[in-house]
Amino acid sequence: MSIEEKYKELTLGSRTLYGHAKHLFPGGICHNIRAFHPHPVFPRHSEGPRFTDVDGRDIIDLWMGHYSLIFGHAFGAVKRAVNNVLDSGWHWGMPHELELRLADEIMLAAPVIKKLRFCCTGTEATMYAVRLARAFTGKGWVLKVAGGWHGASTDLSFAVRPPYEEPEGPGLLEPDMQGVAHLTFNNIGESKRVINLHQDHIAAIIVEPMLGSGGFIPATKEYLEFLRKACDDIGAVLIFDEIITGFRFRYGILADEYEVSPDLVTLGKIVGGGFPIGVYGGREDIMELANPFQPESPGRPVLVGGGTFSANPATMAAGLATMDSLRKQQSSLYNLLATRGDAMRKGIEERFKAIGLPAACTGMGSLFMTHILKGDDDLITSPGDIAEKTHSRVADRELKISLLNHGVYTMHGGGAISATHGEKEVSTMLDAYEAAAQDLKNELQI
């Protein structure tokens, strides 16, 4: 029985629901990353590191709500906090105390953020950050890294997947019309060439200090320092997109680990405790352009005020409960998460190698991604390396399905370790990866 045939046999309930979903939604899903052939799995209940699907299968989850659930599913502190909000009113559309408290918590942990605004998604956060940068500099162009993902705004839906010179799909303007160009991640020489080409027109450079969907590849310190100096030299705004990395590796932002200070930062995921959130903040002089009163500036403020559910009480309460738990447990939690992540990265590489499939596990701390290599000694330092040196489609499809057959849900061949993934889960997951590697070896002959 093939990998796909076994999956279909194990997921009859999900297959039925997907058949209905296709009549309701384009592609049967409400987020493109949730789509895969022959059909996605449908969960019914979740707790800790696991979920139960509609077919009654118990599955270890490494996707963890798009990496937002650092304390696992149904975290008690978040549940209690949100229940308290539901008793007092869950949406007012007015300023309230909880948003002040969460903003204080974030700004204390990330001192580079002098003022911030809440929104509902990471896409909004990066979109507004770019808009502020353009208003502040009076320039139009934005540079981003090839392979970097910053949400689905028109400004940044470019150079996400190869070929990097094209828009991500129909409905988007050509790069020159959009005012966007791409840099090669961790390549100072090539990035310098592109910056020099557009230097008089660059409003901002936006970068993830560790690429997310681009491969869980950390930036080198030298590369981020180069971008910081380049922005200073040409009068551009440096934006760090920390929607994935913020509060994932430390109680604060990854920028502090690199000792490189961005002008603006975007956050999301973890700081919302699994509820809808986006955050953009940074230098006061830039953020004040969003002040609707603008006492010292002529003209209209930058339009960043949309979002019916921005700073809604339920999200603020969930974020506060998560942040409070992270702050109290930071001395041990982050080391524990990193230890478990190291065990996964090392264990997967060793088990794949033993079966005869060379693999590289990128990432750091509690995040990891598996890349099946075409050559034994290939190194992965940029998204271009993934496209050229790995069987990336296999990791996104056959490996994902095989791991689901063996009881583990992944994204891009890996995922996020939560505080609830213990030694038992690590051992079970490594056994699943070994079994999946054998499946791939037998069926695909790679």
Sheet containing 278-282: which strands, arranged edge to edge?
115-119, 278-282, 264-268, 237-241, 202-207, 141-145, 180-183
Q: How far apart are CA 61 and CA 204, in angstroms?
A: 36
Main-chain phi, psi angles of 366, to 5 degrees? -90, 5
HSE of 284, CA atoms in CB hemisphere, 13 A: 3
Find where tokens 């604060």 sit: 252
DSSP secondary-structure letter at 202? E
Beta-carbon contacts of residue 19 (< 8 Å; ≥ 6 apart): none
**Encoded tokens for 261:** 């200070």
How, if at all, do strands 367-372 and 180-183 pair? unpaired
Beta bridge partners of 415: 368
* Residue 139: predicted pLDDT: 97
Segments of the chain assigned to CATH 3.40.640.10: 92-311
Beta-carbon contacts of residue 23 (< 8 Å; ≥ 6 apart): none
Q: What is the pLDDT along the chain (446 residues), one digit of tens a residue?
A: 899 999 999 999 999 999 999 999 999 999 999 998 999 999 999 999 999 999 999 999 999 999 999 999 999 999 999 999 999 999 999 999 999 999 999 999 999 999 999 999 999 999 999 999 999 999 999 999 999 999 998 889 888 888 887 777 788 777 777 799 999 999 999 999 999 999 999 999 999 999 999 999 999 999 999 999 999 999 999 999 999 999 999 999 999 999 999 999 999 999 999 999 999 999 999 999 999 887 655 567 777 777 899 999 999 999 999 999 999 999 999 999 999 999 999 999 999 999 999 999 999 999 999 999 998 777 899 999 998 999 988 878 999 999 999 999 999 999 999 999 999 999 999 999 999 999 999 998 77
* Residue 301: predicted pLDDT: 74
Which superfamily does CATH assign the domain made up of 3-73+333-444 to? Aspartate Aminotransferase, domain 1 (3.90.1150.10)
* Residue 281: predicted pLDDT: 98
DSSP secondary-structure letter at 210? B
CATH of the domain spanning 92-311, picked from 3.30.930.10, 3.30.1360.30, 3.90.550.10, 3.40.640.10: 3.40.640.10
DSSP three-state, residue 262: coil
Segments of the chain assigned to CATH 3.90.1150.10: 3-73+333-444
